[in-house]
Amino acid sequence: MTAAQTMSRVEAPLKVTGAAKYAADHTPPGTLHAVLVGAPAPAGRITGIDTAAALAECGVVKVLTAKDMPRFGEVKPPAAVLSLPLQENIFRFEGEPVALVLAESIEAAEAGRAAVVVRFDAATPVLPGSGWREPPPTPRLLGDDVALGDAASGLAQGAVKIDQAYFQEARHHNAMETAATVAQFENGKLTLWDSVQASGNVPPVVAAALGMNADDIRVICPHTGGGFGSKGYVWPHQIIAAAAARIVQRPVKLHLRRHDQFVCVGYQPRLEQRIQLAATRDGRLTAIVHEAVNACAIADTYVEPATEASKSLYAAPAIRTRQWLERSNINVPTPMRAPVEGPGLWALESAMNELAAALEIDPLDLRLFNHADVEPMTKKPWSSKKLREAYQEGARLFGWAGRDQRTRQDGPWRIGYGMATSTMGSFRFAAGARVRLKADGTARIEANTHDIGTGTQTVFCRIAAEELGLPIENVSIAWGDTRLPPSGPVYGSSATGGTGSAVALACRELKAQLGRLGAGNDPRTLLGEAGLPEIVADGAFTLPGGAPFNANGDGTPFAMSTWGAIFVEVGIDPEFGLVRLRRAVGAYSAGRIINLKTAISQMTGGIIWGWGKATMEESVQDPTTGAWLAKNLSNVAVPVNADIPSDITIHFVEEYDEHASAIGARGIGELGATGVDAAVAAAIFDAVGVRIRELPILPWKILGEHAPG
Ligand code: MOS
């Protein structure tokens, strides 16, 4: 790593000194604090809400129920919930907002919430796991059911077959900063201090709900304390906070309690997947059939398009996919870090490892035999693909070929090795950015981007510094305000490629302006001689047909995706079923890497996230009501430092993708989390011969016992 590649985060001093202000840190004068009251049961009809006791609490100003709320206008995606709460007397999941307590302090609001009595007639809930299955509505953003070739005859032709079901439990994002919206009306215009991954998504949705003009809504979000997808779309609490502020004509702060996070901002749904693979004796796939069922709400829809993984990863002549929803009385899920291929690879890559074992072929060789040189469904060339190099370099760094010569025992620990392919589609969003180059030799980027901890501002500063030939310390960035030039969202592993391209294009336009001012490149001289305090340029990253979004290169001559290979070594204590990560190597093909330090952090974090999914995370539901059992973070298991070895190696294949973006990058954020679970399951099988097909892989599953209790 060169010094330039180790650029640390530009916003880090703000965060470590506590100067960074998050949404809920804003308290305009006169602010009322709001707390949601949730439905006390999974299904029913409200017969009355007694607010007298709540209103008697010192400091409680108002309790708003459906009777007080305006009839919301129709909202569309990126609204996460289309059937908005507080509109009728029916509720469809435990915790669905049924009232809002407003008070002079958060303590008073909490006391008021506890005193609200919701009277209701309970209905019999449809319980998770016993819901009805139906195909998701069309059109779908992703997850269309496809058929390539003849899957039935492909399955029949195979000499060796795998037909297995793979499960994963629901899990929540559990971001450190719970979602928060501070809403303030002034002269009919609305300002929201909001904790989001895409503030540009908020005005159109809130405007539609409240019957406002989106241009009259400003969203400010300087820092986002983690999101992982839970702050990507627009959720009811954002609309409710704004509606309440309009009703009471005072600023309203709605900072979700940790409890609310489980029901108000989505989660990754429970998934059941079935994979059928068939292959010739020498390991050529003849068919892939992939079906996925995700748990879903009654009134709202989220499809977890896990089958996407099977459409493009391997060169099978026959591929068939099918998505299903299973509806029950729960809140609606949403994308969560490494959606789509993340869940999909748990199934596909587990099945590939089982196929390799059945064929007695090295699992890495099986992947190489079936490498997709072109996109399997469309036969389009890839914009750039260096997966073979990633396999090779990952295997070399890990010592994959020599693994059987290594020790298999370390004290009580039995050691196993596993691998899987990583992949994540290439999401691209149209994005803009403005760059000002000043006569003092500094540059300022203006872009309504956000940072959820990935280092976006840092990466954009670096792009501008490189493009303009300036020292990095001369570049600054303004972000997190809808008054800035609209940029892409910070989700879908898309921000660097999209907004980063817009920054680069603005800088290239500035260089052209400098060129017109005269020879030489020193902006101080050129601007000084021209008597200009600054020059300004806008950059726009555009997509085919002027679309706001493009998935996987659709509508272009190229297919786009990202890939990698993950290798893990685990230790199992066979007496207790304990499982430990000992080391991991991830090698990736994701286009150009802009800033190696933050990129390595992203992938390391992804592997840790994947380890959590593989061995710890599950959001348990009460089997009699479907309600999430967790009300706070106690008993919510996620990896901590003691769970993670220092021996995690990240490698990026040298690559420049000229088709995916203006800076050679595709995207990395979520890629690192994919495939880890399947690699871990394979390593456990390698160590102790237990094949586990249900996430998370808890000790009792390794011991082969039944669920405790
Ligand atoms: Mo991620 S689920 O794209 O925030």
Q: What is the mean pLDDT of the chain?
A: 96
Atom of ligand 1 nearest to the CA of 334: 2
Å from CA of 335 to ligand 1 middle: 6
Answer yes or no: is the C-beta of 343 below 6 A from any ligand 1 atom.
no
User: The whole model's pTM is what?
Assistant: 0.97
Å from CA of 492 to ligand 1 middle: 5
Instruction: Using the predicted structure, report yes or no on whether residue 9 has a pLDDT greater than 90.
Output: no
The 10 Å CB-count burial string (b at 16+, else e) for 17-45 is eeebebbbbbebeebbbbbbbbbbbbbbe
Atom of ligand 1 nearest to the CA of 427: 3
Q: What is the tens place of the pLDDT at every residue in 544-588?
A: 999 999 999 999 999 999 999 999 999 999 999 999 999 999 999
Instruction: Using the predicted structure, report yes or no on whether residue 213 has a pLDDT greater than 80.
Output: yes
Q: What is the tens place of the pLDDT at every residue in 523-548?
A: 888 999 999 999 999 999 999 999 99
Mean pLDDT of 91-102: 98
Instruction: Name the pLDDT band for 119 (thresholds 50, 70, 90).
Output: very high
Answer yes or no: is the C-beta of 489 below 6 A from any ligand 1 atom.
no
Q: What is the pLDDT of residue 195?
A: 98
Identify the weakest region by mean pLDDT among 107-111, 450-454, 458-462, 554-558.
450-454
Answer yes or no: is the C-beta of 571 below 6 A from any ligand 1 atom.
no
Looking at the chain, the whole-number percentage of residues with pLDDT higher than 70 is 98
HEC states along 128-195?
CCCCEEECCCCCCCCCCCCEECCHHHHHHHCCEEEEEEEEECCECCCCCCCCEEEEEEECCEEEEEEC
Instruction: Using the predicted structure, report yes or no on whether residue 5 has a pLDDT greater than 60.
Output: no
Q: What is the pLDDT of residue 708?
A: 52
* Higher pLDDT pick, 680 / 6: 680
Contacts (Cβ under 8 Å, ≥6 apart) of 528: 439
Mean pLDDT of 233-239: 98
Instruction: Using the predicted structure, report yes or no on whether residue 3 has a pLDDT greater than 50.
Output: no
Q: In whole angstroms, give the CA distance from residue 610 to residue 620.
A: 19
Atom of ligand 1 nearest to the CA of 492: 3
Atom of ligand 1 nearest to the CA of 229: 4
Answer yes or no: is the C-beta of 339 below 6 A from any ligand 1 atom.
yes
Tokens of 558: 């190229």
Q: What is the pLDDT of residue 522?
A: 83
HSE at residue 44, side-chain half, CA atoms within 13 A, is: 18
Answer yes or no: is the C-beta of 491 below 6 A from any ligand 1 atom.
yes
Residue of 224, 304, 427, 491 with the most ligand 1 atoms within 8 Å of its CB, for mutation: 491
Q: What is the tens place of the pLDDT at every residue in 469-479?
A: 999 999 999 99
Residue of 201, 228, 424 with the most ligand 1 atoms within 8 Å of its CB, for mutation: 228
- The amino acid present at 102, given as its one-letter code, is L
